[in-house]
Amino acid sequence: MASVENRLAINLCGIELDNAVIPASGTFGYGREFAEVYDINILGTFSFKGTTKEPRLGNPTPRIAETPCGMLNAVGLQNPGVDKVIAEELPAMAKFFHKPVMANVSGFSVEDYVYTCEKLDKETQVGWLEVNISCPNVHGGGMSFGTDPEAAAEVTCAVKAVTTKPVIVKLSPNVTDIVEIAKACEAAGADGISLINTLLGMRIDLKTRKPILANTTGGLSGPAVFPVALRMVYQVAQAVSVPVVGMGGVTTAEDVLEMMMAGATAVEVGAANLVDPLACKRIIEALPAAMDKYGIKTLKELKG
């Protein structure tokens, strides 16, 4: 029988990973706090905090609200900006994480994405660029790049022109046809597609009669979104030939297997990290037994 390491190994855009489990951007910071709790080198990799060209303080508080089977967040891409990430966060990260890391990039114009991706592409620690196109396009009236196939393709094409590393485009589920957008990104040169980002939602405080979040609306994540995410991963994986990274409400080893059966090559774990800092460690450790239960020899054989 193959060893545990061989059984769990996958290949994402040409880079070998020890396993398919990846903490999602925005839920794992730069890994430092988690590295104090366990050896995060057990992970396949992780997607670090969404990085923008300029530093961002994020949205006003309160910006997180609990919901049944999930949570709402409107953090607003708080981060120190790409220059500080390169100067301070990446060198610090190199001391405790010894694998290629996924750099999550956000922007408010095509030029923003190009600037940030070009800089991060030069960093040896960065294995993949995960380009989050759920951000509002300041030159397009505030509409998210990820809601329009042409805008999504424009960002993808522009980033590919200035980078050498695999570009994985992260899609928003807040669209009519996510498949059309995924296909546009693939046609523009994307090396992979990741989905889903959070679903738009809101809560109201009955006492104050006002929205709980200062931003009024926020992104819904957690177990509540898993069936929606699985459906979209399945649809996109059927429509594109590049690898798909699935995420959205993943909390167990069984969820990982289900995502991979739907067509995901790798699986990101988001909100679960905020509930349990050991979530990804527990999922990885539980995978061999879950695979045995369902007669799965290796993760590589499972996709789709």
Specify the pLDDT at position 4: 57
Specify the pLDDT at position 132: 96
Specify the pLDDT at position 174: 93
Specify the pLDDT at position 3: 57
Specify the pLDDT at position 191: 98
Specify the pLDDT at position 1: 44
Class of the domain covering 4-293: alpha beta
Q: Which of 13, 117, 135, 280 is catalytic?
A: 135
Specify the pLDDT at position 303: 76
Domain ranges of the chain: 4-293
| Short-list 233, 252, 264, CA closest to 290 | 252
Specify the pLDDT at position 40: 98
- 185 is known as an active-site residue: no
Whether the model pTM is above 0.85:
yes
- The pLDDT profile of the chain, 304 residues, written as one tens digit per residue, is 455 558 999 999 999 999 999 999 999 999 999 999 999 999 999 999 999 999 999 999 999 999 999 999 999 999 999 999 999 999 999 999 999 999 999 999 999 999 999 999 999 999 999 999 988 777 777 778 999 999 999 999 999 999 999 999 999 999 999 999 999 999 999 999 999 999 999 999 999 999 999 999 999 999 999 999 999 999 999 999 999 999 999 999 999 999 999 999 999 999 999 999 999 999 999 999 999 999 999 999 987 7
